[in-house]
Amino acid sequence: MQLDDIKISKAIIESYNDKLVKALDIEVAIVGAGPAGMTCGYYLARAGKSVAIFERKLSVGGGMWGGGIMFNEIVVQEKAKKILDEFGIRARLYERGYYLADSIEAVSTLCSKTVKAGVKIFNLLSAEDVMVRQKRVCGLVLNWTAVEMANLHVDPITMKAKFVVDATGHAAEVVCIVEKKSGIRLKTKTGKIMGEQSMWAEVGEDTIVKNSKEVCPGLYVCGMSANAVFGGPRMGPIFGGMLLSGKKLAGDLLK
């Protein structure tokens, strides 16, 4: 059989178009395909919910790929190891309470299991704005990352979701948009983004789970976005809190 270049192009365009159209009205839209975002999406999709993750970069995985200072090993604590086990990510004991995992295996397995659970991941798409109706975040305004990088004047598209999750990491990009443009008071002590504190793994790993919650009507945070918004410390190359954060928020949304 001879390969037809046009059929190859048609197959890609038709398939992607169908996938994107179906993602324009869903139950949960997650911005950021890091470990917290993917874990959150995995548990939601496994419960039968329609979920899409929008990632501005070409690759998924956030900061997990690089481990610590580009040494591609990550550390997780005892209570987070159960999530690695569930995903089938191998972990080995370093000392009591400390487990090591290969960051490449961790990210690739997280991504594979998340997609197979039913989550649609759209890379190279950025959330440049949010849709707000009656003081509730109810969707995202999307554009190609390449358009944003080239500073082109190209209008975006809009999608609708029952819940929106900011899993964009330290920058808390979606919450920043809401704070700047919507006039909605955030559910923090100050009513605004409180900012990330300096590194303290023990406290940061605890608060990242507690802070994974609703930040304003319709908008939730998980992963490092949670500590950035609610004022918790960063925790460095220990990633158990990221996984626990995503699972905790998924459970809250399901309720």
Alpha-carbon distances of 241 from 17, 58, 117, 166, 235, rounded to whole Å: 35, 24, 22, 16, 9
pLDDT digits (tens, 9 = 90+) for 164-198: 999 999 999 999 999 999 999 999 999 999 999 99
Largest CA distance in the chain: 65
CATH of the domain at 226: 3.50.50.60
Residues 6 or more apart in contact with residue 33 via CB below 8 angstroms: 53, 54, 55, 60, 61, 62, 111, 121, 123, 167
The pLDDT value given to residue 105: 98
C-alpha span between 163 and 6 (Å, rounded): 38
Give φ, ψ of 35 to 5 degrees: -60, -40
Q: For the chain, how many structural domains are there in total?
A: 1
Owning domain of residue 79: 5-254
The pLDDT value given to residue 36: 98
pLDDT along the chain (255 residues), means of 10: 96 98 98 98 98 98 96 96 98 97 98 98 98 97 98 98 98 98 96 97 97 98 98 96 98 97
pTM for the whole structure: 0.98
